[in-house]
């Protein structure tokens, strides 16, 4: 929590620098500023104990982070070696007096945030509070109205969906103005709620820190609560038994809004929703082969998913006379990921398992100067998610080294890192790599990712690569 508080102070300081710059330019008085403190309620994803590396929990392995595990690393919290998260109790404390936390979209603890609006030339009132209900989708309509601009019908020839928010400009100079955003639904992982003219009907379906392994609850068994938030703004007095007809009215309204906004059918799966092949979620990249080129940097969602399956990574490289060094292809961070690279002249493959274990396969001999094709084949053990496998290195089609990777990531390598060709910037996957200076010393002509180990000669010819490129045009 101290780390989080320190970062909030850091962020606030730099927001202040932006405002100071506007003041120096003489623009602050006529600049409309929205300062929203948070994007949801405080997060309870840090589990009951807290987390040193949040990717451990996101991969369904929270049990690894015992209290002793955390105490052994307490002095590293807030450093580059941690991806830490405060515990559930602190999330509840920060969301007080509201119930619940982030992901629980039903209750205000999961959704409600303070917001400051500053616009001296447009708001005559100073230091006042507004109580009209509004939602984050109202920010864009407010800016458009303040600027005197219509909502765009098309952008770059693409027809736009209608903006569903309501401008809050009417309330800026009239504290008693009648509320205009009368109805708003909420839903996340089956947690559901609706606001309508001062009342909220809500139901908590899933618990946010139980990412995997929790017994599912039938939607029909969820308990709905009713609050008169015009008087009971903290949702403390459940009126569902006293006002059953009002509750049923709002439940029906939630279904209407959910149908209109494509929320149905409800999907309350956890880890499975992150896996397109299980969830049925659309994928940006299809097929079993993908070709990338030097300098490309793509998100995981624009890359073939190599988790939980056999795969190969092949690259044509040119080695300089000074010797091989640097990254050929890498995905992830020091908190989980993999890299195919050269170090001290030799080809290496490293698999970083959630920052806890490192599996490395290294060729015995240095790559000679000139053009070579290097390849890593990963033969997945199978039998479920997150299993191990055997990684084999090839140079010009010849096997040079084989090694075991005992555990793999079942769900995600990182929440924000990218995959890179010919370089690796930022958080290092292996101690051989650094924050900077990982550019491949020679030339990476191309990288091909394959989800099938069908090359009998372990070599990708120019004809094969051309056929792949033409097939996905």
Give the span between the Cα atoms of 376 and 468, in whole angstroms: 19
**What pLDDT score was predicted for residue 185?**
98
- Give first-to-last CA distance, the chain, whole Å: 49
Cβ atoms of residues 104 and 41 within 8 Å: yes
**pTM reported for the whole predicted model:** 0.85
Nearest of 204, 245, 246, 249 to residue 228 by alpha carbon: 246
User: Which tens digits make up the pLDDT trace of 376-399?
Assistant: 999 999 999 999 999 999 999 999
**Per-residue pLDDT reduced to its tens digit, 421-451:** 999 999 999 999 999 999 999 999 999 999 9
Ranges of beta strands (E only) in 370-442 are 370-380, 389-395, 398-405, 418-421
| Residue 58: predicted pLDDT | 87
Q: What is the pLDDT of residues 251-281, one digit of tens each?
A: 999 999 999 999 999 988 876 777 777 777 7
Rounded Cα distance between 391 and 402, Å, is 6
Nearest to 410 by CA among 234, 278, 283, 302: 278
Q: In which residue are the tokens 């120096």 written? A: 24
Contacts 24+ apart (CB under 8 A), 258-261: 258/185, 258/187, 258/192, 261/164, 261/185
The helix/strand/coil state of 396 is coil
Structural element, H or E, at residue 259: helix 244-260
- Separation of alpha carbons 223 and 440, rounded Å: 57
Q: How many other CB atoms are there within 10 angstroms of residue 19's CB atom?
A: 14
Is residue 59 within 8 Å of residue 411, measured between CB atoms?
A: yes
What does the pLDDT read at residue 410?
A: 92
Residue 200 is classified by DSSP as E
Q: How far is CA 407 from CA 61, 274, 307, 382, 384, in A?
A: 12, 19, 11, 11, 12
Instruction: State residue 276's pLDDT score.
Output: 75
Residue-by-residue DSSP string for 85-150: B--HHHHHHHHTTSSS-TT-TTSGGGT---EEEE-TTT----S----S---GGGHHHHHHHHHT-P
Residue 162 CB neighbour total at 10 angstroms:
7
- Residue (of 411, 353, 415, 352) closest to 384 by Cα position: 411
Which whole-number Å values give the CA distances from 431 to 39, 141, 351, 465, in the listed order? 34, 49, 12, 33
What per-residue confidence (pLDDT) applies to 212? 66
Count CB neighbours of 210 within 10 A: 15
Q: Are 454 and 448 in contact (CB under 8 A)?
A: no
Q: Which positions of the chain have pLDDT values less than 70?
A: 212-213, 271, 468-473
Please tell me the predicted confidence (pLDDT) of residue 472: 58
DSSP annotation of 229 reads T
Max Cα-Cα span within the chain: 83
- pLDDT given for residue 462 in this prediction: 82
Give the architecture (CATH level 2) of 289-471.
Sandwich (2.60)
Extents of the domains making up the chain: 289-471
């Amino acid at each position: 929590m101290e780390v989080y508080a320190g970062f909030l102070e850091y962020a606030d300081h730099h927001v202040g620098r932006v405002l100071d710059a506007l003041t120096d330019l003489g623009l602050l008085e006529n600049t409309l500023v929205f300062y929203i403190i948070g994007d949801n309620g405080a997060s309870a994803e840090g589990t009951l104990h807290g987390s040193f590396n949040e990717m451990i929990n996101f991969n369904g392995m929270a049990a690894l982070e015992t209290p002793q595990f955390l105490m052994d690393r307490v002095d590293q919290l807030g450093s580059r070696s941690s991806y830490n998260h405060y515990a559930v109790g602190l999330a509840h404390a920060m969301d007080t007096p509201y119930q619940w936390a982030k992901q629980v979209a039903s209750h205000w603890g999961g959704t409600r945030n303070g917001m400051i609006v500053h616009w001296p030339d447009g708001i005559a009132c100073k230091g006042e509070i507004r109580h009209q209900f509004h939602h984050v989708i109202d920010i864009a309509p407010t800016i458009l109205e303040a600027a005197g601009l219509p909502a765009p019908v098309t952008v770059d020839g693409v027809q736009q969906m209608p903006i569903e928010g309501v401008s809050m400009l009417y309330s800026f100079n009239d504290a008693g103005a009648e509320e205009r955003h009368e109805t708003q639904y909420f839903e996340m992982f089956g947690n559901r709620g609706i606001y309508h003219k001062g009342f909220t009907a809500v139901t908590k379906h899933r618990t946010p820190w139980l990412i995997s392994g929790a017994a599912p609850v039938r939607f029909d068994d969820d308990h709905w609560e009713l609050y008169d938030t015009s008087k009971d703004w903290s949702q403390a007095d459940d009126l569902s038994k006293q006002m059953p007809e009002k509750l049923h009215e709002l439940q029906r309204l939630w279904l209407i809004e959910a149908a209109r906004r494509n929320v149905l059918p409800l999907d309350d799966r956890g880890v499975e929703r992150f896996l397109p092949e299980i969830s049925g979620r659309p994928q940006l990249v299809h097929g079993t082969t993908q070709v990338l080129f030097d300098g490309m940097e793509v998100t995981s969602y624009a890359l073939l998913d190599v988790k939980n399956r056999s795969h190969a990574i092949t690259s044509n490289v040119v080695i300089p006379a000074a010797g091989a060094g640097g990254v050929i292809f890498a995905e992830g961070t020091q908190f989980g990921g993999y890299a195919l690279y050269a170090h001290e002249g030799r080809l290496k493959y490293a698999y970083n398992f959630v920052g806890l274990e490192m599996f490395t396969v290294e060729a015995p001999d240095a790559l000679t100067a000139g053009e070579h094709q290097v390849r890593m084949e990963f033969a997945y053990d199978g039998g479920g998610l997150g299993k191990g496998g055997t990684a084999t290195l090839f140079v010009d089609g010849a096997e040079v080294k084989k090694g075991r990777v005992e555990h793999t990531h079942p769900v995600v390598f990182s929440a924000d890192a990218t995959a890179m060709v010919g370089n690796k910037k930022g958080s290092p996957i292996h101690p051989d790599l650094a924050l900077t200076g990982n550019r491949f010393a020679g030339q990476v002509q191309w990288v091909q990712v394959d989800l099938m180990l069908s090359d009998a000669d372990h070599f990708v010819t120019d004809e094969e690569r051309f056929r792949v490129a033409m097939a996905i045009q």
